[in-house]
Structure 1
């Protein structure tokens, strides 16, 4: 019986829904935003979104609902696409950032989720759902980090000079801003085993950058770029460092090239809470 009902519903979705007009658009929106089977609501939301007479405000609202329904079905990429479209229509809607943050949280991208919750709270301070979700995402990030470190610790007890494991622990610490001295020690130990590994030089460059030793960071990034000139990651890190040293044009050029080679690299570093620094003044960079 359930199978027959499902078949009937699928047939109805395919053929029973007529194109919207001004008279039926309001009803479709009520069905999109109301109760009932998720697939049916999705079809109604899609009809509202596709109707030429739908206002931008309602289209954004329908995209939020459809994105939420897709997220419930674990269709995370399609949900993110809906929220992205909604933001282009209504960039100051805190609910879009909240719902997108929930998708990132569900997929384990806790840093990006926190950024979205922060956006939602900036638009609507005190939004309880965003406050609760942000606290949960921070705890999940901490738990995930601690578990990853524990696994690396255990493996390094068995093979203490494994350069890839040492670099992995160095990188994990630096992107979580945890014990930069220990991160530096891991990167140094990795390079002692495998000198001139550009991936480790990149990791150590970021450690030095976050420690504020920009000259040492630039030396590591320069070395990494010489070994792998087409790596967007290495170029982006060098761009950050050059900007911090007052080499604004060179840094911007590095970052532009990095984005060409590794699209989305800037957003990836933003997820680590690593933003382009305020350029040093000419007098500071000359000292």
Structure 2
């Protein structure tokens, strides 16, 4: 595929009265890890935080025996990156939906102005405000914007956006209907996992099994198919059978972080956790591309086993 180069430059303007400081390595950082050149600089000048980062590939492929050392080096590199710390009060996103909503009135005004000035066939100002509102947990307001956008254009993305918002608001039947419509517009099985989850919550585990069996027939990815089937089996009251399928495939692919995390999560949510499966959770953390998700799964595993301190740490 040839070399890849990424560069990002970010400027964040902080409040004038923000009591913040950069902790960690102040000097620019650079390293070559796993055949990839990494560089990062961060500086805080008054209320302005500037971050510049680059990534350039030097090798097209990394031998298998170098993957684990590269992961460790990358973890060490990440720990050196400076962190912005606040000495004062930190306002959480959900507070802006509550007592601090008035602080966002200027932004709300700009979004409203953009919507008022938009062309009749332009739905993007509405979807932009929907994203903003969803980000501060105003799901009802975001839903109104998405539905207004759908009067301008019907698209798969908008059906999926409305499904997500309806799900947040507890309208599982509506969310499922929108997800089914999105799948009908692009019938590739990519929504089946979400559908199976919602069908399970609605007490329709058998319908979820039908989707999982259909997915097995259309996908070439055995790992994903097994994870989807394990999920469906769990919602159909057959959690141990689903875990057995994952165990069988992990025996053939012991370094597949995604499978290990699926086993950890499914065992956790259905209360089937034991020390052997906890070990799989730890392997998932070590081998997954998304370590945060694996840590979340292991936290649930520790909770199931009564390891509250480890739960909090993860």
TM-score bracket for this pair, using the shorter chain length: 0.3 to 0.5
TM-score where L is the length of structure 2: 0.39
Which has the larger share of helix? Answer: 1
Which has the larger share of strand? Answer: 2
